[in-house]
Structure 1
Amino acid sequence: MKLLLVEDDPTMQATLQRTLGRRMIDVRVCGDGALALEQWRTLQPDVVALDLSLPNLDGLQVLGQARAAGLTTPVLLLTARGTVGDRILGLNAGADDYLPKPFDLDELEARIRALRRRHQKSEPESDAARLPDVGGLHADPASGAIYHRGEVFDLTPREAALLKALMVKPGHAVTKERLFELVFPGETNVQYEAVEVVVYRLRKKLAGTGATLMTLRGLGYLLREES
C-alpha cells in the first residue's frame, strides 16, 4: 500500500515513514503544498494524508486543485486545527476523513486502511468482470474460476488472487505492495516476502499456458502473452 504524506514537519515525516513502513505501508513524503499535486499525479498513491498548514499552498488549496483535476484518491486531513468549522471546510473541499493532531499512530493506520478499503469497494466495476484473456487463460466473471483452454486451471486461492491481479492489465507491472494486499488481505502476521513464494509457484504452473509471469526489478510483476 502506498501513502503520500503531505506534511512539512521533518520529524513527523521521519516518524511516520519509519512506523508505518514497519506495517507494510510505503510512505512517500512531500513538504511543500506547491509541489504536492505534481507528486500526487506521479506517485498515484492509494491514500493521501494531507496537512492543512503547508508552505506556499495550504492543504485546502491542494485538495481543491486535486479534485478539480479529477484525482479521486481518498484523502485523510491531518491538522492541529481542531474546530468544527475547519473540519467542515475540509470535508466540503473533498476530504474523505479528518484526524486532528496530536493523534495515535494506531488510529492513523486504521483510518488509512479503512479509506483504502472503502475506495476499493466503491470502484464501479470488479476486477473479475473486466479481466481480459491472456494467452490460453480465461477468467469466468460469474464464478471467478480461471480456465486454461476450456479446462479449469488448478490454482490455490492465493495463486488465483495473484493471477487475477495481474490479468487486469496484461503487460503492465503491479507492485509487490499491491499484490500483498490482494493475496494476503488483513493478514498482519504474514511476512512481506510471502508474495515471492506465491509468484514462484504460480510461475511454474503457467509454464506452457501461453502466458508468462515476469519480474521487473524495482517495479513489481507483470503478466504477458508468450511471443
Structure 2
Amino acid sequence: MKVLLVEDDLLLADGVQVALSRKGYAVDHVTRGKDALSLVSSEDSCPDLIILDLGLPDMDGLDLLPKIHQKSAADNFVPVLILSARDALPDKVAGLDSGGDDYLTKPFEVAELLARLRVLERRAGNRTQTSQSATIALGPVSLNTSNHRMRLNSGEEIELPRREFSILRILMENPGRIYSREQLNSKLYNWENDVASNAVDVHLHNLRKKTGADFIRTIRGVGWLVEKHP
C-alpha cells in the first residue's frame, strides 16, 4: 500500500515515514503541492492514500484538494487524510467540504493516524467488511486485510510476508486488471528503495506456490492479473 505524504515540516514528515514504514506502508514524501499533483496524475506513481498538510509553501491545501481529485483517474479513487494544525471547527468543515475524507489535527498520536488510515483503506477497497475484519474473497482465495492472512477453500490459512500480502491485495482488489512489473514496484517501494530487478518476480513466484499456479495469471511480456470470479 503506497502512501503519499504531502508535508513541508521535515521533522514531522520523517517521523511519519518511519512509523508508516514499520507498518508495511511504502511512503513517498513531497513538500510542495505541484509535486503531489505530478504524482497523482501519473498512473504508475499514483498513491493509494494521501496524507495532506494544508499549509504548503506553494499553495494552500484547500486549493490543492479539488485539483487532486481532478487529476486522479475517475476509476482510481484516492482517499485524502488532512493533517493540519488548523483545529477550529470552520477549518475542519472547509477541509472536508473541499474533498478531504478525514481530518486529523496536529499534534496527534501515531496510533490514531494508523487507525484513520485503516478506515480510509476499507472505504477505498473493493471488499466485504465485517465488524471484526475486512476480507477480499475471489474464487478459492480469501484475504484478511486486518491480519495479513490468506485462507484457501481447503481451509488452510497462511500468514503472508508484507510484500507478498501487498501484491496479492493489489491484484485481488482489481480483478481483471493487468499490472506490470513497474506498476507493482511503484506500489511496493518508495523512491529511496534500492529494488532488485527480479524482486516482484520472486514475490509472485512464492505467491503462486501458495495460492495455486492458476490463481495469478502471467500475461507474458505484459504483467500479472487475478481473474474476475462470479
> TM-score by structure 2 length?
0.62
2:92 matches 1:87 = yes
Q: Which amino acid aligns with 2:16?
A: L
Over 3 Å counting, the alpha-carbon distance change for 1:23 and 1:197 in structure 2 is farther
Over 3 Å counting, the alpha-carbon distance change for 1:86 and 1:177 in structure 2 is same
Counterpart pick for 1:44 among 38, 43, 46: 46
Taking the TM superposition and a 5 Å limit, the aligned residue runs for 1:79-158 are 79-121=84-126, 144-145=139-140, 156=156
Q: Which amino acid aligns with 1:199?
A: L
Q: Give distance in 2, aligned partners of 1:58 and 1:210.
A: 45
Q: How far has the Cα of 1:41 moved from its partner?
A: 2.4
Segments of 5+ residues of structure 1 without an aligned counterpart are 129-138, 147-152, 180-194
Over 3 Å counting, the alpha-carbon distance change for 1:165 and 1:58 in structure 2 is same
Q: Which amino acid aligns with 2:108?
A: F
Q: Give distance in 1, aligned partners of 2:100 and 2:4.
A: 14
Give 3-state SS (helix, strand or coil) of 1:29's partner. strand
Q: How far has the Cα of 1:199 moved from its partner?
A: 1.4
**Deviating 4+ runs (over 6 angstroms):** 176-179
Q: How far has the Cα of 1:211 moved from its partner?
A: 7.5
Q: Give distance in 1, aligned partners of 2:106 and 2:94.
A: 17
Segments of 5+ residues of structure 2 without an aligned counterpart are 129-135, 142-152, 189-202
Which residue is 2:149 aligned to? none
Q: Give distance in 2, aligned partners of 1:15 and 1:64.
A: 27
Q: How far has the Cα of 1:82 moved from its partner?
A: 0.4
Q: Give distance in 1, aligned partners of 2:174 and 2:52.
A: 33
Give 3-state SS (helix, strand or coil) of 1:5's partner. strand
Q: Give distance in 2, aligned partners of 1:94 and 1:85.
A: 15
Q: Which amino acid aligns with 1:35?
A: D
Which residue is 2:62 aligned to? 60
Which residue is 1:35 aligned to? 35
Q: Give distance in 2, aligned partners of 1:167 and 1:77.
A: 26
Q: Give distance in 2, aligned partners of 1:11 and 1:176.
A: 27
Q: Which amino acid aligns with 1:74?
A: P
Taking the TM superposition and a 5 Å limit, the aligned residue runs for 1:154-169 are 156=156, 162=168, 165=172, 168-169=175-176
Give 3-state SS (helix, strand or coil) of 1:34's partner. helix
Identity of aligned residues (%): 32
Q: Deviations over 1:78-115 (max 9, x none)?
A: 11110001001101101110000010011101101111
Over 3 Å counting, the alpha-carbon distance change for 1:156 and 1:108 in structure 2 is same
Q: Give distance in 1, aligned partners of 2:156 and 2:187.
A: 19
Q: How far has the Cα of 1:156 moved from its partner?
A: 4.9
